[in-house]
Amino acid sequence: MEKNKNELRLINMAEVEAREVDWLWYPYIPFGKITIVQGDPGEGKTTFALHIAALLSKGEMLPCDDKKRKPINIIYQTAEDGLEDTIKPRLLEANAECSRILVIDETEVQLSMTDERLEKAMQETGANS
């Protein structure tokens, strides 16, 4: 039977297998998943996110966390800030390993949360492992 694209797809939870979350930074950032930092303009979202990215890019410990880790690649998306005048200066201020920070370029095609290109980019750059 063919499904209508406008039909709501339902998942029966009896068919879902429970599993534990693998945390990058407990209990704030799950490992290998998309994390969104949301708030009003001027509240420090970008500064916060880039400082966390800088620590992870160098394999340093996160605040209130004593877990040793290896440097990792980070895929970052920005909807508000310029790369040259905001993102790069803040990464430099945070002493990030900039070669490990990759920013999504949406100049050609907008990205959605279900975009397969994001999963592919995560796999190709190792940003999900």
CA 29 to chain centre: 9
4 or 44, greater pLDDT:
44
What's the mean per-residue pLDDT of the chain? 90
For 11-31, how does the pLDDT look when each residue is reduced to its tens digit (9 = 90+)? 999 999 999 999 999 999 998
For 67-105, how does the pLDDT look when each residue is reduced to its tens digit (9 = 90+)? 889 999 999 988 789 999 999 999 999 999 999 999 998
* In the block, residue with structure tokens 């039909």: 7
Q: What is the value of pTM for the model shown?
A: 0.79
CB atoms within 10 A of CB 26: 14
Tokens describing residue 128: 């999900």
